[in-house]
């Protein structure tokens, strides 16, 4: 998707945090923990126009599932152009993720990838999303996020009890990458 479309979304929607699509370098860094040789259940928060989604679908096994959340109307329409039976689309907020996903995957999700701007959320919403995410993951499942700053480290540590961070400089803007495991 073009930077122009992201710019339009950025100026029209207060919840869009980026003026450009995520770089392929950042996508690879965030997705590094995923074992693409195994069936995976992955949930993506803030799927945008599908930069991560396309990458994931290129590597996921036929038995995998990808659940994509995006509330921006322009980006959601682009996202829905993905024609793959492994992908499910949700145009609702991840604040209600536990109620929106199929019941049979609760506690069975392998990875949650999040690009939503947690810094835009109040503490209650942030805590609720992270708590729901923890419950969605199976033991050993991981919450993977990318943000423009280090603000998510303490909330992740509070919810998951652990977090590792790294930087991906080859992105505009550079991103802090987070990995927290349900133990």
Q: Which domains, ranges and CATH numbers included, belong to the chain?
A: 3-181 (3.40.50.150)
For residues 160 and 178, is the Cβ–Cβ distance under 8 A? no
pLDDT tens for 57-71 read 999 999 999 999 999
pLDDT tens for 113-131 read 999 999 999 999 999 999 9
Determine the Cα–Cα distance for residues 130 and 82; give it in Å rounded to an integer: 27
pLDDT tens for 154-174 read 999 999 999 999 999 999 999
Average pLDDT, the chain: 92
Q: How distant, in Å, are the alpha carbons of 29, 39, 57, 74, 127 from that of 156?
A: 18, 26, 27, 30, 9
Quote the pLDDT of residue 18. 52
Quote the pLDDT of residue 11. 45
């Amino acid at each position: 998707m073009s930077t122009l479309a992201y710019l339009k979304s950025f100026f029209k929607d207060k919840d869009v945090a980026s003026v450009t699509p995520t770089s392929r370098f950042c996508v690879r860094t965030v997705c590094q923990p995923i074992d693409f040789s195994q069936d995976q259940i992955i949930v993506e928060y803030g799927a945008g126009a599908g930069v991560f989604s396309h990458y994931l679908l290129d590597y996921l096994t036929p038995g995998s599932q990808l659940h994509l959340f995006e509330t921006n109307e322009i980006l959601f329409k682009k996202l829905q152009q993905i024609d793959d039976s492994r992908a499910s689309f949700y145009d609702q907020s991840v604040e209600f993720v536990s109620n929106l996903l199929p019941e049979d995957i609760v506690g069975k999700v392998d990875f949650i990838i999040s690009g939503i701007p947690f810094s835009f959320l109040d503490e209650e919403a942030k805590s609720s999303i992270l708590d729901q995410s923890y419950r969605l993951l199976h033991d050993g499942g991981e919450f993977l996020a990318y943000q423009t700053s280090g603000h998510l480290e303490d909330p992740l540590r509070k919810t998951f009890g652990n977090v590792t961070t790294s930087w991906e400089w080859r992105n505009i803007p550079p991103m802090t990458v987070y990995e927290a495991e349900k133990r």
